[in-house]
Amino acid sequence: MNRKVLITGASRGIGYSIANSFANNRDKLILTCRENIDILEEYANELTEEYGIYCEAYKCDAADPTAVKELFEKIGEIDVLVNNAGVAWLGLLTDMEEDDWRRVIGTNLDSLFYTCKCAVPGMVRRGSGKIINISSVWGSVGASCEVAYSASKGGVNSFTRALAKELAPSNVQVNAIACGVIDTDMNRKHLSDEDLEVLRQEIPAGRMGKPQEVGEMALMLSNAPEYLTGQILTMDGGWI
């Protein structure tokens, strides 16, 4: 199909797997990360060699509006935007510093405004485009000791529904994937083995989700019928 696809936060975890799914679909990829540019550049080269596609890596903090604007000046218009960049913070609200709050909200929610503001004009002009936001079940039900993260993902869900209504007349679809517990480095960093085992026992599917499964769902959404828009698709093994 040779669509031009931008995936933020693609150096590891879910973003890494999303990139692989789109590469397997022979799309042109623009991958970004905030810090691990050496890792991302190596991965972009691997995808180029394996699938014979165009794939470029850029260092770009999605929470920085200037950096996002400069990125789009380099890459031009895109067909698919996958907003995956995200961070978490685990602890009591009273122990959270203002800088921690701003980093979570900035990376998880403000980034959507910055990327969409740059991507949407081209999509509207062409009368086509897909925007896929990676959210969380905590955006719907909230999680103790993850107030900022839950608030940011709740914002992602509302952002998705509202922008979908705004762009539907222009034939641009906006949807989100609300992930449950996915087996990523981020979850293993913030949760102990004991915590993860408790979660596994609570999940009807009996396991954590695989990043590859989220990648497959993101690709499916990018190919979904145009009438599917404004949806928050929960992917949690029947948990919530």
pLDDT at 1: 59
Flag whether 24 is in a domain.
yes
Give the number of domains in the chain.
1
The span from the CA of 209 to the CA of 213, in Å, is 7
Note the pLDDT tens digit of each residue in 45-82. 999 999 999 999 999 999 999 999 999 999 999 999 99
Tokens of 87: 């961070």
**DSSP codes, the chain:** ---EEEESS-SSHHHHHHHHHHHHTT-EEEEEESS-HHHHHHHHHHHHHHH---EEEEE--TT-HHHHHHHHHHH---SEEEE-------S-GGG--HHHHHHHHIIIIIHHHHHHHHHHHHHHHHT-EEEEEEEETHHHH--TT-HHHHHHHHHHHHHHHHHHHHHGGGTEEEEEEEE-SB--HHHHHHS-HHHHHHHHHHSTTSSPBPHHHHHHHHHHHHTS-TT--S-EEEESTT--
Flag whether 67 is in a domain.
yes
Active site residues: 149
pLDDT at 65: 98
Flag whether 40 is in a domain.
yes
Could you tell me the pTM of the whole model?
0.97
Note the pLDDT tens digit of each residue in 175-194. 999 999 999 988 887 788 89
CATH code for the domain in which residue 170 is found: 3.40.50.720
Flag whether 240 is in a domain.
no
What parts of the chain have a pLDDT lower than 50? none
Give residue 123's domain range: 4-235
Flag whether 142 is in a domain.
yes
pLDDT at 131: 99
